Amino acid sequence: MPLVSVCVPVYNGGDLLERSLKSILAQTFTNYELLVVDDGSTDGSYERAQSIVGSAPRARLIRNTHNLGLVGNWNRCVELARGEFVKFVFQDDWINPTCLERLVEAHRPGVGLVICKRRLEYAPETSRDRREQYERYIQKNAFELHFPNCSLISSKTFSDLVLKRPVDNCIGEPTTVLITKDVFGQLGLFNPNLIQLCDWEMWVRIGTRFDVAYVPEELAAFRVHRGGQSARNFAMRAYQTSMLDPLVLLHQILYSPVYKPFRTFATGQPLKMVALKRRFSDVAYEAAWKANRGIPRENGAVAKRRQAWLNITREHPEVRNIRMNYFLHRILYWALNRFFGLRVLWVRMKHANGQRNHPHS
């Protein structure tokens, strides 16, 4: 049996950490290591984890010397993992007893990612609007909606979806997936410049290079709860998640060397590729406009948005050509649309003429 590294990144896990860890210890698949990596918790999470799994023969508890942040701790887990596969379980999520067993069974040669369905559990304080928002998003982006009755999705089929819907996460959170460890060596770790799309960007990276296996069973649970940020911080986070995250993701897809095979595939669909570039330009233009609204000295949120925008332009040079790209991609999209529209019209007219010349054919 292959070894699975079950990684639990922890930061102030609270009371839910115990249920998460016990769900791992109850797995029917036994060839796994349990890796708990604490990122400087101040609520006793490390000690709590130690009391739950400290005596387990397959458990390792690591405490970071300094806080790495959300994505930094994910990457720390990957670096410490010894298994052939990596399985994340977040501190407030949990998995069914057969989760590891079913995901490992579904793996095939050439598969980089095995995913399953998940159910949502809402914290009592979760508002009705937030619940409805999650439900609408999942209904719109359900994996089975895009790949009905498919247990194995080729990298080309997945690439076609990314070309059409590059920022819509149809897979879900890391708790729902099993990752082949080798892909990190080939494709790199999670992108720390992303907040909301840090998991989806990795799924895109993997799915456009390797096959994806799907298990249509609810084997994991994801807990939805309210964040504890102030209104000002929330406004800044909203700018990051709605503007900068999609911008960074689209930039990576269009310009990063790791996505070169995807771009090679996309050259066969020029209209969709230009539409993708146009979307990148549109998002960049809107992000720049929002970053420069208001007076920084009178509004701390405006200053933070502007600084975040400047950081993005330094790290992603193509964003600097925003004005030229904005109009160029719109013109290209219009020209290709017109070309393909006229071509379709010409084919239809030719077909109609053929029908008139051969009425009994």
Q: What is the pLDDT along the chain (361 residues), one digit of tens a residue?
A: 679 999 999 999 888 899 999 999 999 999 999 999 999 999 999 999 999 987 788 899 999 999 999 999 999 999 999 999 999 999 999 999 999 999 999 999 999 999 999 988 888 888 888 888 888 888 888 899 999 999 999 999 999 999 999 999 999 999 999 999 999 999 999 999 898 899 999 999 999 999 999 999 999 999 887 653 333 344 557 888 888 999 999 999 999 999 999 999 998 888 888 888 888 888 888 888 888 775 555 557 777 888 888 888 888 877 766 655 554 555 555 565 555 554 444 445 455 555 555 555 4
No. of H helices and E strands in the chain? 15, 9
Residue 41, phi then psi, degrees to nearest 5:
-60, 145
How far apart are the C-alpha atoms of 263 and 246, rounded to whole Å?
A: 18
Helix (H, G, I), strand (E, B) or coil at 113: strand
| CATH domain 4-224 topology | Spore Coat Polysaccharide Biosynthesis Protein SpsA; Chain A (3.90.550)
pTM for the complete prediction?
Answer: 0.85
**What burial letters (b/e) apply to 185-200, b meaning 16+ CB within 10 Å?**
eebebbbebbebbbbb
Helix (H, G, I), strand (E, B) or coil at 115: strand
Largest CA distance in the chain: 84
What single string gives the DSSP state of each residue in 171-233?
S--GGGEEEETHHHHHH-S--TT-SSSHHHHHHHHHHTTSEEEEEEEEEEEEEE------HHH
Helix (H, G, I), strand (E, B) or coil at 7: strand
Give, as one character, the DSSP assignment of residue 15: T
Amino acid at 258: V
The reported pLDDT for the residue numbered 361 is 45
Q: Which two tokens stand for residue 90?
A: 């977040």
**What burial letters (b/e) apply to 1-27, b meaning 16+ CB within 10 Å?**
eeebbbbbbbbebeebbbebbebbeeb
Helix (H, G, I), strand (E, B) or coil at 44: coil
The reported pLDDT for the residue numbered 230 is 33
Q: Where are the domains of the chain?
A: 4-224, 231-348
The reported pLDDT for the residue numbered 237 is 75
The reported pLDDT for the residue numbered 48 is 93
The three-state (H, E, C) secondary structure of 48-102, written as one string:
HHHHHHCCCCCEEEEECCCCCCHHHHHHHHHHHCCCCEEEECCCCCEECCCHHHH
The reported pLDDT for the residue numbered 347 is 45
